[in-house]
A and B are shown apart, each in its own frame.
Chain A
Amino acid sequence: MTFDAYALLALGFAAFVVAWLLYTLHLLGSDPYLGRLATGTLSVGVVMWTAGVLWRATLLGGMAGRLCDICVLLVLLLTLGALLAEKLYRTRAFSPWSLAVAAPVAGYTVVTLPYQVEALQAVPAVYRDARFQAYLVVVLSAYASLLLAGLMASVTIFYHPLRLRFAGYASLSVESLERTSLQVVRWALIVLAAGLALGMWWSWVASGLYWHWLAAETWVLIVWLVYAALLHIGRFRRWPLAFTVGMVLVGFAVTTLAF
C-alpha cells in the first residue's frame, strides 16, 4: 500500500478524533454551531477514509476477509451510519457513541496496518469477484447497523444521567430511542439477509455449493437468527424497557463474536 493511501486513512482517523471532541462539546452545551462543525468534520473524515479505502482496494485488487479489511470497512460503515442516523432522525445524539467505537478501531488500523504483512498482499483472485466484494460490504453494513442499534440501546440505559449532563439529549425520549434502535435492527436484518444471499451466490459460483458451514457465514446466520428472535418476542410496550434494551445488547454481544 502506498504512502498516499495510508496517509488518507491517517488523516481520516485524525478527523474522527476531532469530530468526537466537537460532538461532545456540542451535546454539553447544545450549541448548534459546534454541532454543524462536528458534522462537517465527521464528513471530511469519512471522505478521507473512503478515499484511502478505495485507493487501497484498487492497489490490492479488492478486499478479502482479512482483519485489516474488516477494520477499514467497519470504520467506514460505522461513520457513514452515524451520518445517516443524523440525517434520518435529526439528532446528533448517536454520533459520538458511534465514533467512540469507530475511532479506536481506526486508530488501531492506522497504527498496525504498516506492520501487517498480509495487509500488503494482493487479494487472491477468488476474492476479487464482485459478488464477494458486495457480500463483504453488505454484511459489514448490517453489522455496523446492528452495532449502532446496540449503541442506541446503551444510550437508552444511560438516558437519565446523560440527559442531566448533556443538554443535547433533552429532545429525545426513551420511547423514541427504543423505537429507533428497533427500527435500525429491522432494516439491518433485511440488509443481512441480502448479504447472506450474496455470500451464498458467490460460494455457489466458486465451488458449486452455497453453504459450507464456515465460521464467517455461520456466524452471519447466527446473528440473523438472534435478532429475528428478538423482533418476534412480543410487543415491547408490555415489557419493561430494560428487557428490550437487554435483548438488543445480547444481540450486540453476539455480533461482536462474529468478528
Chain B
Amino acid sequence: MNTAKPDSHGDHLTSVWYFFVSGRWVALLLALLAATLALSMLLSGSSSVSQPSPATRVVSDRGVGWQQSDPFSPRVANFGGYDELWLRLLFGLGVFTLMLRTAERSVLVLHLRNELARARGLYLEGEAVHESVLHTGVTLEGVRERLGKRGGAWPYRVWEGLKETWSVVYAERLRFAVWGDLMLHASCLVVLVGVFVTTHWGWQEERIALARGEKYSVAHAPGYVLALEGLVTHSSWGQDDAVTRVGRVSVYRPDGTVQESVVGVAAPCFAGPFGVFLLSTGPALRLSVREDSGRPFYLQSLAQGSKPDTELVLKFLETQDENSLSIPSLGITLRVDRYPSLPEHGYGGPVYLLRAYRGNRSMPLFSRYLWRDEVFEWQGLEYDVRLDNYVVFNIAADVGWWLVMSGFVGLVVGGMLRLWPTPVLARFCSPQNDGADLASGEVSVWCGGNGTSGDRSGVAEDLLRRVRRGEE
C-alpha cells in the first residue's frame, strides 16, 4: 500500500502531497493512535477496573433479582485534558490524510488507462511473473474477444496502449483492486465522520431507573415522557433460573399521542427522535404505611431530590444494598437492607430486613424479615410491602451511528474487493505499427501480491491459455 515516488523535482507542494499520501505516513499515524490508546488503557485503568465487577454476574433468584447487570460500566480508557487533545489531533490528521488518499485513489479509478504505470507500482509485484514471445497468431480483436467479452467472476478489460510506437494491447484485471482500495479509504473516512457526528450531535441520557408506574421526562426531547407500565418475566432455555425480563413502556408525545412498546434485552424501541434501550433490571420494594382508618402517611425517601409520596418504591442498585426513608409526620425512620441470602436465619434466597427507628436512638423500634408480599401491623400502623422490579433504561439519539455502520460495511466490502480477485496486467506488444497482428510479439504478465508464487504463475498461464485457445 505504498505510493510511487514523485516525478517532479524541487516541487515542494508536490512533495508535501506525496508525503501525506504515502503509506509510511499512514503507518506512523496508525501506530501513534494505537500507542495512544494502549497507553491510555494501561495507565488510566487499574486491574480491578479492567475486570468486570462482581455486579456483572447474573443474580437470579426466583424472579426477583438483577438481570444482565450493566456490562458496559467498567470503562478502562478515560480521555481528558492533553491526551484528549492529542487524540483529537490524531483523528484530525487521519481525516486529512484519508481525504488526500481517497482523492488520489479516485484519480486512479477515473483515469486508470492513463495511470497504468502508477497502478502497477501500487497493486502489482515489480517483476513480471511471465514474459515470453507469442508464437501463435493473435490479433488485437482476438485478444479483446477472448478476454474481454468472455465473462467469469472477474472479467478482463482490454484496450490499446496510448502514445507508444509499438502496437500494444493491455488486458487488465486491476480495476477491482483499485475500486476496492478507493472503497476502503472512503469508508474509513465515513467512519471518522460518523464518529464526529456522534460526538457533536448525538446525545444519550443514561441509566434511567424506573419502577412500574414511574415516569421520566426526556431532557433532550422536550414534551416526550417515558413511562414504565410493567415488567414481563419469562424463562429462557428451559432453565428455571435463567429468566429474561422485558419492559412494557409508553412514550407520551408532545402532540398528545401515546406509543406503547415492549423493550427487551438488545431489542430497543424507537419513539420519535430517540430510541429506548433496556440496560438492566433490578429488585425494588414498594412500601406504603396507613393508619387504622386507612389514611395513608406521606413517606419521604432520604435520597437527594426525592419528593414525598404515599407510596415509595425503593430501588436496590447493584452496588446499593440499603435504602432509607422517613415518615415525617411520625418522626420514624425506616431502613431496609437487602441480603442475597441469610442461611443462618433460614432464608436461602434474597430477603429484606426492615427496621424502624425514632430520633437518634440506636435500638430499632422493630425489625422484620421480608421475602414476599406482606401486610403487617405495628402499633396501629399498617405496613404494606410488595416486592417489585425496576428497569434501567438508556435513551439515545445518534445519526452518526448509521454513518459508522455504513462505513464499516463499505470497509469490509472494499477489503474483499481489494483482496479477492488477483490483480493482473498483461501487455501484448508487437513491433508492427498497425497493431493488427501480434503474432511475433512479446507478452508480459504482472500479478498482484496475493497468493503464492505458484498461484500467480497459474493466473498468468490461465490468461495465456485463454488467449491461445482461440487459435485451436
Contacts and interface: CB of A to CB of B under 8 A. Distances in A.
Interface of A: 61, 89, 118, 121-122, 124-129, 131-132, 173, 175-176, 179-180, 182-183, 186-187, 189-190, 193-194, 196-197, 200-210, 212-215, 218-219, 221-222, 225-226, 228-235, 237, 254
A192 B94 CA distance: 20
A144 B136 CA distance: 48
Interface in B54-74: 57-58, 67-69, 71-72, 74
B76 A197 contact: no
Contacts of B57: 118, 121
A232 B452 contact: no
B137 interface: no
Would you call the interface of chain A mostly helix, strand, loop, or mixed? helix
Contacts of A231: 1
Task: Identify the 5 closest CB pairs spanning chains A and B, nearest first.
Answer: A208-B396, A197-B408, A225-B34, A229-B30, A190-B415
Contacts of B45: 215
Contacts of B267: 205
A205 B263 CA distance: 11
Contacts, number: 170
Given A122-B242, A229-B27, A206 B419 contact: no
A214 B214 CA distance: 31
Interface residues of B, number: 63
Contact of A122 (B23, B31, B239, B275): B239
B50 interface: yes
B415 A61 contact: no
A203 B242 CA distance: 22
A207 B72 contact: yes
Nearest to A130: B266
B416 A125 contact: no
A58 to B, nearest CB: 9
B75 interface: yes
Contact of A126 (B31, B76, B266, B268): B266
A190 B412 contact: yes
Contacts of B268: 205, 208
Contacts of A221: 37
Contact of A210 (B26, B75, B76, B404): B404
A209 to B, nearest CB: 6
A213 B76 contact: yes
Nearest to B276: A208
Contacts of B412: 190, 193-194, 197
